Structure 1
């Protein structure tokens, strides 16, 4: 049986959806063109209900994303009030939580001459991604952290860098690189002139990186050749070598393709062949790393990704990824890694956002999963969010959000593991683009 609070919120949800139909009978404005979509500001806010592990809360949320030239600011304000009239304790139980209301502040974008971002890191990467790839420092709302990315490209030399948690010990990554032929007239030679050579150092300084035995460090070297760089296509052929200190090593050969001359659409594809020795895992710091770092086992013995590293056997593997963007607002990304001859060991990544492309319908989702056996089975190896909504009017969205994430399990103030958390949010949101 639904509680009185749940019944009230569902009735409110349906009432607002019905009233929105009345507004929708007036003519809608024409959709924005691609130039406007890249420049417009967005303020999203609304009301609804959150059900966290079966416990309901009234939800009031504000999610603005504003851009001023190259400066971007995003906030994530969620106020959840329980049946007792009190704000959910876990949302604001530490001073750090108040700073995390600022989702991000950024300058520029990745791959521009200068890029900086502070706040939530969404799928961060260094270089070709052999060490840090699709890394998320905040795998759930309750595990948000303030991280930092800082990149600079001076044409002949440059660097990429990131740190996952300014409030504590976390993952550090640094990749300086050089385009040696650009230092002379040889930089005008096709293909070879754009050759890029880089070196990466990454380390996790968290006490649980090696289950209490100190940090874990990884070094890598890479080289890349831009095969094509024309108006509608650019591509990069690259090779990486990676060594996990005190453990094994591996190598990667890959190809990046980016098609930009497809009218309103852009298409990118990536393919890698991976060669892995004993005690080596590719892209060690990935989307699931913050949850894999430390895990309790049923026997009570500590476990974590370092245990998987120690047990990793020599093998080869493949990785493929494709990204399609339409009008800069409809985006779909899919990636899959498969080791050769090893069952239930794949890693997948999927993202979808329909934006304004589909009339009256909004779909968004993200899915990361390791040890893939059954793709559609959501378990302790998965992170999932999915939002399905109806847009009766351009500024109104009636939707339901489902999330499968994890929260820290603490004993005497120390993190001893993670518990799965299921979150359902029926809500009505008002979206203003300008």
Structure 2
């Protein structure tokens, strides 16, 4: 743990020092785009302190206490903490399980951020990762590292641009020292960035490399380690994009990508395939795609829209956006699924709309042309309101993976993750509400189970 903290601190220090030499780059166009609903809807200039007095049921036991959640912003620097002080209602013991195993006390850090992704030349974020993408999202898109709220992971996301030509982005999923976990990196270049030639100067090329040798506990009833990742999984990708149109009303980006999921060669997967032969054989899989991404603004902040549409083609043994919001739930199951995936085509689309910066709704859908158990759909929905009718607060997200039937779209099961928050402002500083959460929670025997929890609360909120 000490070694991990030292490495993280050193990396952050180097990037902070580097940023001082990068101020002259602040106004040049960004490489690629960021469709993360979290990043699009979070203002970075507001500091907030929240202390929520709540009742919670954790692992079948009842707790009551307070959760301190300060969000502090100092220019480009942002710090968010999540400090629970809960007491067991039966025996009075302080709840400490949240800090055991994995990254331990690092879970107190919701995030530590410098800059804003695709906005500033230096962006670094340490903590819980949500809605992460790499490049144009062919391999890693809408990724989140923490399907369990109590056992949140602390990871690292970064994007560094050097002058107008070079850059590097990437992420590391989990600082748990048990293994080398999901690691993604993408160096990119804009060869004509300094030329000043309209449109041509925005052309960029990137190369992605992803590997995962996760040997930590997986989520599930037995909570064993990820057996198929003993020798790791590797993926590679090439992409390119160009800003086709840029005006005060709309900017439009076109892009294309090629990616490859290498064959996983672990002995445990080979043994599994002997018992359950893959219907399509099993080897490396490849995928390609072309798409458009548009951002529109209508009369200032009256209406803002971000939309993306993409056509996909892929071979046997390939799943588009393999590293997604549900990847962390059961990596072995997703790897095993590759052997049954048939060559086909599909569509990916996303849409996020903001009205008066008060209401923001969004969603995305990955939809194969022929949906099946081996090629399921994945869907996400998001909602956030800011001082709606001055009193009402509504927030939420819903993720559904392995979707094969329309009737199962809103069925809560092991392929679902959700949070809904309804709150009412009694005064400008006092809020009462309830959180409904569907996520993976640790049970008394140490296993994990997808289950719901309801937490009523009374909170003090101070904005400064």
TM-score, with structure 1 as normaliser: 0.83
CA-CA distance at 1:40 after TM superposition: 2.4
Instruction: Determine the C-alpha separation between the residues in 2 that align with 1:102 and 1:316.
Output: 41
Residue aligning to 1:288: 326
Residue aligning to 2:219: none
Match of 2:133 among 104, 125, 140: 125
Give the direction of change, closer, same or farther, for the CA distance of 1:73–1:315 in structure 2 (3 Å limit). same
Instruction: Determine the C-alpha separation between the residues in 1 that align with 2:424 and 2:230.
Output: 51
Deviations along 1:172-216, one digit per CA (max 9) or x if unpaired, are 010011111235xxx333322211111000111213556254100
Determine whether 1:99 maps to 2:97. no
Residue aligning to 1:355: 386
Match of 2:193 among 171, 182, 186: 182
Give the direction of change, closer, same or farther, for the CA distance of 1:395–1:409 in structure 2 (3 Å limit). closer
Give the direction of change, closer, same or farther, for the CA distance of 1:393–1:283 in structure 2 (3 Å limit). same
Deviations along 1:26-85, one digit per CA (max 9) or x if unpaired, are xxxxxxxxxx96632111112120123553210311111110000000001122211210
Match of 1:330 among 355, 359, 376: 359
CA contact (8 A) 1:250 1:274 kept: yes
Residue aligning to 1:407: 441
Match of 1:201 among 201, 206, 209: 209
Instruction: Determine the C-alpha separation between the residues in 2 that align with 1:249 and 1:408.
Output: 36
RMSD: 2.1
Structure 2 counterparts to residues 37-48 of structure 1, below 5 A: 39-48=45-54
CA-CA distance at 1:408 after TM superposition: 5.4
Tell me, which stretches of 5 or more residues in structure 2 are unaligned? 1-41, 216-224, 264-283
Residue aligning to 1:311: 340
Deviations along 1:117-175, one digit per CA (max 9) or x if unpaired, are 11111111111111111111112222211111121112211110110112233110100
CA contact (8 A) 1:122 1:136 kept: yes
Match of 1:278 among 316, 321, 345: 316
CA-CA distance at 1:323 after TM superposition: 0.8
Instruction: Determine the C-alpha separation between the residues in 1 that align with 2:188 and 2:101.
Output: 39
Give the direction of change, closer, same or farther, for the CA distance of 1:171–1:37 in structure 2 (3 Å limit). closer
Give the direction of change, closer, same or farther, for the CA distance of 1:196–1:37 in structure 2 (3 Å limit). closer
Instruction: Determine the C-alpha separation between the residues in 2 that align with 1:391 and 1:375.
Output: 32
SS at match of 1:188: coil
Instruction: Determine the C-alpha separation between the residues in 2 that align with 1:113 and 1:162.
Output: 16
Instruction: Determine the C-alpha separation between the residues in 2 that align with 1:287 and 1:212.
Output: 18
CA contact (8 A) 1:37 1:327 kept: no
Residue aligning to 1:29: none
The count of residues paired between Structure 1 and Structure 2 equals 383
TM-score, with structure 2 as normaliser: 0.78
Residue aligning to 1:167: 176
CA-CA distance at 1:376 after TM superposition: 1.5
Residue aligning to 1:430: 460
CA-CA distance at 1:95 after TM superposition: 8.2
Instruction: Determine the C-alpha separation between the residues in 2 that align with 1:233 and 1:419.
Output: 45
Match of 2:300 among 263, 275, 279: 263
Deviates most, 130-139 or 390-399: 390-399
CA-CA distance at 1:267 after TM superposition: 1.1
CA contact (8 A) 2:353 2:362 kept: yes
SS at match of 2:242: strand
Give the direction of change, closer, same or farther, for the CA distance of 1:119–1:202 in structure 2 (3 Å limit). same
Tell me, which stretches of 5 or more residues in structure 1 are unaligned? 1-35, 295-303
